[in-house]
Chain A
Amino acid sequence: MAETASDRPVVAAALGGFTPDVFARHLESAPSWWHERKRAAYSRFEALPMPGRTDESWRFSNLSGIRIDGFTPDAAPPAGTAAASAAFSLAAPPMLTFVNGRLASRGELPAHLAAKGVVVSTLSEAAARSPELLREHFMAQPQKLGSAKFAALHEAFIADGAFVHVPRGVEVDMPIVLIHSASGAGTAVFPHTLIIAEDNSKVTVVDHFHSNDTLGQFACGANDLYAGHGARITYAAAQCWSLETLSFQFNSTVVRRDARVQSLNLHLGARQARHESLSQLQAPGGFSEMLALTVASGAREFDQRTLQIHQAPNTKSDLLYKNVLLDRSRTIFSGLIIVDPDAQKTDAYQSNRNLMLSEDAESNSLPGLEIQANDVRCTHGATSSPIDADQAFYLKSRGIPEKAANELLIFGFFEEVLCRLENEELHAALRDLVRTRLGR
């Protein structure tokens, strides 16, 4: 390592532990259909620099916390690894459970859905059955939010992932639950979920990222959401990695004509987490609702970057990101709404609310707009404030003790996001996760 560093000091630092040797070993275990793409991705990863201090898309980020050395991809899970947490329970059994990136178990898709052509499989299976869909949708969208390097790393080292395909006109009446688990010290995982909802179809997918460890791990995940004409996708992700994990997650959402995508990201785990979410409203009538809830405690950092691009007229996007900050935690929200020159009648909204519960916590908000069409409705707002004293007083005046009053208000703060979910069961399950995380 030291020798390599002296030969190519800059490059070595930028590769961390993911050196060409490690990559070569990874390729041996990867299916051959994937090799070409993976090689190209690895070259991109090698060529791209680590984020720098003057890089606007990393403004306020703790760059020194992003060390990617010492992690092991393709690690076999230690014996007796539990694949899921008891805290998260939905009636529907998990369709796919991945441990350290590989399929560990699968549930059975109800017959009536299978009969209609709904597919829930691994990416490897999908590559064999419908390679054209993978070509069209897997990591096909641009990386615009600063992490092109890490997205390339994801593509180079991904072992497998989930593939959800809902044919035209089919409505899936139960949430499809996917579990991505990491186990063992220094483990690196590259979870992926690809959802394709064809025209006029409807589906709800839940990703649960999970680790029972208290160890340092590395998660570098991505998901691709594609909603065809008139389709509706509800996507929820519960990020419950170990509290020592370095986490990257890249989301891409493509919304076609009259389609609607609702995504909710719950961030509870990780030591340092970077989440990038890109929504492209590509055709008239499209609507993307982007929601996030974060509980930041200890000295953790949650760094969320979003981009709503309105590429067609009469499209709508609505973003609400809420953070609760405890202890010495930091959050960064950097959001941008772009309205292209011809995207008239755009209706775009972006809101970041930070609830400050500690003297030492720090919130950073960068809510941005770039508007190039005049007939639009665009607003954004950002607030950082403690529990509202008037509200707390009002509750107390009704006889509620201070602590209980504060808790009510904190959960009220969360509910505004959670209640946007139509699925009651999912709503309750996510709320329970938040309660558990807050220890209340």
Chain B
Amino acid sequence: MSEITDTLETTLENPVSGIDQSSGNFKYDMTYDFDAGTGLNERTVDYISSVKKEAPWIHDFRQSALKTFFAKPLPTHWATRDLENINFDKIRYYLSQGQKPKRTWAEVPEDIKRTFERLGIPEQERKFLAGVEAQFDSEAAYSNIKEAVSKQGVIFMNSTEALREHPEIFRKYFGKVIPTGDNKFSALNSAVFSGGSFIYVPPGVKVSHPLQAYFRINAENFGQFERTLIICDEGSELTYMEGCTAPKFSTATLHSAVVELVALKGAKIQYITVQNWSSNVFNLVTKRGLAHEEAEIKWIDCNIGSRLTMKYPGVVLKGRKSRGEVISIALANDGQHQDTGAKMVHAADETTSTVVSKSISVGQGRATYRGVVHIPKNLKGCKNNTECDALLINTNSRTDTYPAITVRGDRHAVQHEASVSKVSAEQIFYMQQRGLTEGQAMSLSVNGFINDLARQFPMEYSVELKRLIDLEMEGSVG
């Protein structure tokens, strides 16, 4: 307690309000070699805002979000009660840059080390991913990318930098696609966010290579409360990738990101995520895109690991003829619950949305699909097609499907289909008869199940994904 009190006093002596922080150099007589402590109150938020030298409007935004967070109940009337096991008072909401993690390589569990090895993760990255080192020095690669795209006028920086240096671009959309009060966890993120990427692509610019958060791994970026905002101006195109297939070993139990995408007229955004959290993590993420006229937003989302993931990437189809798509792969192993899905809100004529979701439940794992398709009145020519397939590996693996589809009017076509299947004993025997081991046969079947979706990932991701599934399937049979 006393630690926090000290922090708070320091913060109060350095009020953020009244200082123009949008220009010039800032110098505070503050030491950052401590973090914000555990627990959450107004002063924690003051502290974060102060450390980041934020403009008053952001500070106000955070404080008001905090009120919303406290006011909102947990969504347990529809979501799992496991959420009640999150102890918000035990969580560290901000870790400053210089903070050294206390774990040593020797303390990293053997199975995690083995997985790194099997996946061929470079030595240095392993230490970062295991939380032994706070920084993975890929700044050089990142700078190159940043420089290359900045020639095209693309802005690619972290949230703190971007809000400070380009409020004229980012303020307009920040918190607009996903309002603070969208849900309890978006409110939490709005109060304590740090890290994440802010990107602006000017009109007509087509970014040829995917931009990757991977180039900028550091403690903040892989932090608990990332905030990402991508704006693609008229006619521009961008592919963004986040995460990697390596398991992220984390002592933090709550990760809650907010990702907002804005595709202006005719723009195309493809957002690819591969996440593999360690199985102590609550991963509660809000992702939504706003598609203007003839724009296209596509979420490709792969969730592996975590104790509980709740994530329903959405697209608000605001402009005529805009398109939204969610491609989702989830793998739930023992003790894991993947509660994922999609949200498609049609708000203009002739808008089209597609959802394809495939989940795999292994052992006692549980995969849940939850979807919303909403077509309100006075629209015409909207289409949605949703397909959910679940594969159950073991006798008591579990899958649930909970879609909610509202259609108003007689000029739309909406279709939802779901199926549940298993890897049949006959199939396994057939492959064993050709000389594959039971485990190999199982991996082949599971990879076959997601094959058509995995192909949509960039090559290196889909190769890693396949390897990862092989690993996850080991020991699942028998």
A and B touch in the complex (CB under 8 A): yes
Q: Return chain B residues, CB-CB under 8 Å to A383.
A: 413-416
Q: In the complex, what residues of B have CB within 8 A of residue A105's CB?
A: none
Decide if A386 is an interface residue (CB 8 Å cutoff). yes
Judging by beta carbons under 8 Å apart, are A359 and B411 in contact?
A: yes
**Residue B393 CB within 8 A of the other chain:** yes
A171 contacts B by Cβ under 8 Å: no
Cβ contact within 8 Å between A374 and B422 = yes
How many Å lie between the Cα of A138 and that of B408 in the bound state? 40
B403 with A361: CB separation less than 8 A: no
Q: Closest Cβ of chain B: how far from A359's Cβ, in Å?
A: 5
**Can you report 12 residue pairs joining A to B where beta carbons are below 8 Å apart?**
A60-B404, A356-B410, A363-B405, A365-B403, A368-B400, A372-B397, A374-B392, A374-B396, A376-B422, A381-B416, A381-B417, A384-B414
**Contact in complex: B419, A378 (CB < 8 Å):** yes
The residue on A at minimum CB distance from B394 is A374
Residue of A nearest to B395 (CB): A374
B205-253 residues with Cβ-Cβ distance < 8 A to A are none
Contact with B along A374-392 (1 / 0, CB 8 A): 1111111111111000000
Query: For chain B residues 258-317, which have a beta carbon within 8 Å of chain A?
Result: none
For A364, what are the chain B residues with a Cβ–Cβ distance below 8 Å? 404-407
A360-B400 in contact given A376-B420, A379-B420 (Cβ < 8 Å): no
* CB <8 Å contact, B407 and A384: yes
Given contacts A356-B407, A358-B409, A361-B409, 8 further A-B contacts (CB under 8 A): A56-B77, A60-B404, A366-B402, A369-B399, A374-B397, A377-B420, A377-B421, A383-B414
A370-B400 contact in complex given A358-B409, A361-B409, A381-B418, C-beta closer than 8 Å: yes
In the bound complex, residues from chain A placing their C-beta under 8 Å from that of B414 are 382-385
Q: Are A363 and B398 in contact, with the CB atoms below 8 A?
A: no
Complex-state Cα separation, A159 to B360, whole angstroms = 52
B418 and A363 within 8 A (CB): no
Verify if B28 is at the interface (C-beta below 8 Å from A).
Answer: no
Docked Cα-Cα span, A98 to B412, in Å, equals 44
Q: Please, which residues of chain A bring their CB within 8 A of the CB of B378? A: 359
A361–B408 touching, CB < 8 Å: yes
Q: Is B377's beta carbon under 8 Å from chain A? A: yes
CA distance A362 to B379 in the complex (A): 12
Among the listed A344, A356, A365, A376, which residue makes an inter-chain contact with B404, where contact means beta carbons less than 8 Å apart?
A: A365
User: Which residues of B are at the interface with A, using a C-beta cutoff of 8 A?
Assistant: 77-78, 377-378, 390, 392-422
Identify B401's interface contact among A56, A369, A384, CB under 8 A. Answer: A369
Determine whether the beta carbon of A371 is less than 8 Å from that of B392: yes
> In the bound complex, how far is the Cα of B407 from the Cα of A364, in angstroms?
6
Q: Which residues of A contact B405 (CB under 8 A)?
A: 363-366, 382, 384
Contacts of B377 in A (CB 8 A): 359-360, 362
Using a CB–CB distance below 8 Å, which chain A residues touch chain B?
A: 54-56, 59-60, 341, 344, 354, 356-386
Chain B interface SS verdict (over half):
strand
Q: Does B415 contact A371, Cβ atoms closer than 8 Å?
A: no
- Tell me the minimal C-beta distance from A32 to chain B in angstroms: 42
Given A371-B392, A373-B395, A374-B394, the answer on whether A356 and B412 have CB atoms closer than 8 Å is yes
B418, A380: Cβ atoms closer than 8 Å: yes
Q: Are A373 and B400 CB-contacts (below 8 A) given A356-B412, A384-B407, A384-B414?
A: no
B407 touches A372 (CB 8 A): no
Closest 7 CB pairs of A and B: A374-B392, A384-B407, A356-B410, A369-B401, A386-B410, A378-B420, A374-B422
A374 and B393 in contact (CB under 8 A), knowing A354-B407, A357-B410, A366-B403? yes
Name the residue on B nearest A375 (C-beta). B422
Please state if B390 and A360 are interface contacts (CB–CB under 8 Å).
no
Q: Which of A60, A358, A368 has the most CB of B within 10 A?
A: A368
Residue of A nearest to B402 (CB): A368
Task: Note all chain B residues with C-beta closer than 8 A to A367.
Answer: 401, 403, 416, 418
Contacts of A371 in B (CB 8 A): 390, 392, 398-400, 420
Contacts of B412 on A, CB cut-off 8 Å? 356, 384-386
Shortest CB distance B113–A (Å): 32
- Report A-chain residues with C-beta under 8 Å of the C-beta of B409: 356, 358-362
A359 to B400, CA, bound (A): 33
The answer on a CB contact under 8 Å between A359 and B410 is yes
Neighbouring A residues of B402 by C-beta, 8 Å: 366, 368
Chain A nearest CB, measured from B26 CB (Å):
45
Identity of the chain A residue whose Cβ is nearest the Cβ of B418 in the assembled complex: A380
Bound together, the chains give a CA A60 to CA B374 distance in angstroms of: 12
Q: Give the residues in chain A near B408, CB-CB below 8 Å.
A: 360-362
Q: Which residues from chain A contact B77 at a C-beta distance below 8 Å?
A: 54-56
Whole-angstrom distance between the alpha carbons of A360 and B415 in the complex? 19
Checking B411, B419, B421 against A386 with a beta-carbon cut-off of 8 angstroms, the contacting residue is B411
Instruction: Collect the chain B residues with CB atoms within 8 Å of residue A354's CB.
Output: 407
A54 to B415, CA, bound (A): 26
- Give Cα A366–Cα B418 distance, bound, in whole angstroms: 12
In the assembled complex, how far is the CB of residue B253 from the closest CB belonging to chain A, in whole angstroms?
Answer: 26
A358-B415 in contact (CB<8A) = no
Say yes or no: A382 contacts B416, CB within 8 Å: yes
* Least Cβ–Cβ distance between B381 and chain A, in angstroms: 11
Q: How far is the CA of A56 from the CA of B404 in the complex (A)?
A: 11
Instruction: Return the chain B residue nearest A54 by Cβ.
Output: B77
